[in-house]
Homo-oligomer: A and B are copies of this chain.
Amino acid sequence: MLKTQTTYRVPYADTDQMGYMYYGLYAKLYEIGRAELVRELGITYKVLETVHQISMPVLRLECRYIKPSTYDELLTIESRLEEMPTKMIVFHHSIFNEQKELINTGVVKLFFIDQKSGNRISTPAMLVEKLNQYFG
């Protein structure tokens, strides 16, 4: 398994009139989390996209809202790859508040597109290589 953590402070922009972070914004937190997980591998999603010409559209998203998060909270985004990606890559996310309570979980499934052909491809070999050490 590969697991990383990053933090996110909730700006006013993300709150709604209930006083909570808007439910649609957790998807952004998962995106930030998976970008940090990829960075941990010694590559960036930006390089994947611009140098390796691979895009990663999202196929499915599932969120569970356990507790709300509020303005100015410093959230912790934990992101995990629980198994070696094949045709899809599945990121698991857990969001914790400052009291270390689990407030939200999210699962995001993405696939890989070769930008030149426009075709769907399996997990790029270069990524598999980097992931081998975690799923030996």
Q: Which residues of B contact A63 (CB under 8 A)?
A: 60-62
Given A63-B60, A72-B35: A16 and B12 interface contact (C-beta under 8 Å): yes
Q: Which residues of B contact A71 (CB under 8 A)?
A: 17, 46
Total contacting residues, chain A, CB less than 8 A: 37
Q: Which residues of B contact A15 (CB under 8 A)?
A: 16-17
Whether B12 contacts A57 by the Cβ 8 Å rule is: no
- Write the chain B residue with the least CB distance to A28: B13
Measured between C-beta atoms, what is the minimum distance from A46 to chain B in Å?
4
> What are 11 sample pairs from A and B whose C-beta atoms fall under 8 A apart?
A11-B32, A12-B17, A13-B27, A17-B19, A18-B55, A23-B57, A24-B25, A46-B72, A57-B68, A60-B63, A60-B65
